[in-house]
């Protein structure tokens, strides 16, 4: 079994260790969805990660979920990310941008548009808006001839990401956002070639990945999936079969990696590991779950064939997570109150480990 601290070749990159900073939205973008100097500091502080995956970046205004998230669809946004990628690279790190189209998990008060989705089915729960949480709206079902525009939005954002100095992109196919909505058996009730049987429900994900690979290359393209995750009310009745079919199709176009969130039973995840011939990142714990990923989860999943292990909250609270794990130092606890609070407190104020004396 490889050590978490051994190096790994990913696409054109050499990662000095097998830790990945999991994507985490922190809603601290400036007006217009711009990256800020604090964001550059935050990511640069965590540059000892084998790979950083950023918070979700919307590839279009209609694809924005929460207020305060950054985008990658205007020239100004693209320019604003250069300070972040430069700061991470100056500290010796590597950084992929997560491209996140929210689909139905959005609100007109945030974007000015009725959200879009595979079908006119509202997500479960409340969505943040500038005036506070509100019930999820019913999205407008995309016409068949509109779907291609949203597929291409991932590729366009990927082009901008590379122009901004990112080492690659991760398509957000997890956690109930647009790709995940198309994969779902209850958010996607379409009867065209994007809905119905599994071969149709995986089509949007495959087309988005293929368009991105064509634009920036397979070595720069990864995808995150949360098999059977159920987040925001998205159901996959047939998670094992669906995700196996998806990985089989994605293997034809190759990708830098598949990033699985540990949302399915272990035997399903292990089957997906066996199906996918390339690099697999595992996020061992579930979003919002009480237990955060640590050394024992990492060892478990490296033993089961994961190549890289993603840590979310542990990286958020410990900028020097790699050193702490390597040296067996205690981990600082995460302050959930500052996740989405804005400002620098609880963002760039977590210190590195302070050795006594």
Q: What residues are paired with 116 via a beta bridge? A: 140
Active site residue 177: yes
Closest to ligand FMN by CB, 195 vs 292, is 292
- Exactly one of 287, 308, 319, 350 binds ligand FMN (CB under 6 A); which one? 287
- Exactly one of 85, 175, 180, 188 binds ligand FMN (CB under 6 A); which one? 175
Backbone φ/ψ region at 104: left (φ over 0), alpha (ψ -120 to 50), beta: alpha
Please report how close the Cβ of residue 289 comes to ligand FMN at its closest, in angstroms: 6
**DSSP assignment of 8-36, as one string?**
EEETTEEESSSEEEPP-----PBTTTB--
Residues 206-225 touching ligand FMN, rule: CB under 6 A, are 224
55 touches ligand FMN by CB under 6 A: yes
Residues 308-337 touching ligand FMN, rule: CB under 6 A, are 311-314
- Piece of 197-205, 234-242, 273-281, 284-292 that binds ligand FMN (CB under 6 A): 284-292
174 touches ligand FMN by CB under 6 A: yes
261 touches ligand FMN by CB under 6 A: yes
Contact indicator for 345, 338 with CB cutoff of 8 Å = yes
**What pairing do the DSSP bridges indicate for beta strands 116-117 and 168-173?**
unpaired
**What pairing do the DSSP bridges indicate for beta strands 19-21 and 51-57?**
parallel
98 touches ligand FMN by CB under 6 A: yes
- CA contacts within 13 A on the Cβ side of 201: 26
Whole-number Cα distances in Å, 87 to 44, 57, 295: 5, 18, 28
24 touches ligand FMN by CB under 6 A: yes
46 touches ligand FMN by CB under 6 A: no
- Exactly one of 39, 123, 231, 293 binds ligand FMN (CB under 6 A); which one? 293
In sequence order, which residues have a C-beta less than 8 Å from that of residue 194 and are 6 or more positions away?
A: 118, 144, 147, 182, 188, 200, 201, 203, 204
Q: Which two tokens stand for residue 79?
A: 């320019």
Tell me, by CB under 6 A, how many residues bind ligand FMN: 23
Catalytic-labelled residue, pool 177, 194, 257, 350: 177
Closest to ligand FMN by CB, 146 vs 323, is 323
Contact indicator for 70, 55 with CB cutoff of 8 Å = yes
Contact indicator for 347, 338 with CB cutoff of 8 Å = yes
80 touches ligand FMN by CB under 6 A: no
Please report how close the Cβ of residue 201 comes to ligand FMN at its closest, in angstroms: 20
- Exactly one of 101, 150, 156, 172 binds ligand FMN (CB under 6 A); which one? 172
339 touches ligand FMN by CB under 6 A: yes
What SS3 class is residue 59?
coil
Q: Which residues are catalytic?
A: 177
Contacts to ligand FMN by CB under 6 A? 22-25, 55-56, 98, 100, 172, 174-175, 224, 261, 283, 285, 287, 292-293, 311-314, 339
């Amino acid at each position: 079994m490889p050590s978490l601290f051994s190096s790994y070749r990913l696409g054109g990159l050499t990662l000095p260790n097998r830790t990945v900073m999991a994507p985490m939205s922190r809603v601290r973008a400036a007006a217009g969805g711009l990256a800020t100097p604090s964001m550059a500091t935050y990511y640069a502080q965590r540059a000892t990660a084998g790979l950083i995956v950023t918070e979700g970046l919307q590839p279009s205004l209609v694809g924005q979920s929460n207020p305060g998230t950054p985008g990658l669809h205007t020239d100004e946004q693209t320019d604003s990310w250069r300070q972040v990628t430069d700061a991470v690279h100056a500290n010796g790190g590597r950084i992929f941008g997560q491209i996140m189209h929210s689909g139905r998990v959005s609100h007109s008060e945030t974007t000015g548009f009725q959200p879009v989705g595979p079908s006119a089915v509202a997500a479960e729960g409340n969505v943040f808006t500038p005036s506070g949480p509100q019930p999820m709206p019913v999205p407008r079902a995309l016409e068949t001839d509109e779907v291609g525009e949203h597929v291409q939005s991932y590729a366009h954002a990927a082009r901008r990401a590379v122009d901004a100095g990112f080492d690659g992109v991760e398509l957000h196919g997890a956690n109930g956002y647009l790709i995940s909505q198309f994969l779902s058996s209850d958010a996607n009730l379409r009867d065209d070639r994007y809905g119905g049987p599994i071969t149709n429900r995986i089509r949007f994900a495959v087309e988005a990945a293929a368009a991105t690979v064509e634009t920036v290359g397979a070595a720069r393209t990864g995808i995150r999936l949360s098999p059977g995750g159920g987040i925001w009310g998205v159901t996959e009745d047939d998670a094992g079969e669906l995700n196996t079919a998806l990985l089989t199709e994605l293997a034809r176009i190759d990708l830098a990696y598949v990033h699985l969130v540990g949302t399915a039973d272990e035997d399903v995840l292990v089957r997906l590991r066996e199906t996918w011939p390339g690099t697999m990142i595992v996020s061992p714990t579930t979003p919002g779950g009480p237990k955060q990923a640590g050394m024992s989860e990492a060892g478990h999943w490296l033993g089961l064939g994961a190549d890289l292990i993603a840590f979310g909250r542990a990286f958020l609270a410990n900028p020097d997570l790699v050193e702490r794990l390597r040296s067996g130092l205690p981990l600082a606890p995460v302050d959930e109150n500052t996740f989405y609070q804005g400002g620098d407190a609880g963002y760039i104020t977590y210190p590195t480990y302070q050795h006594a004396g």
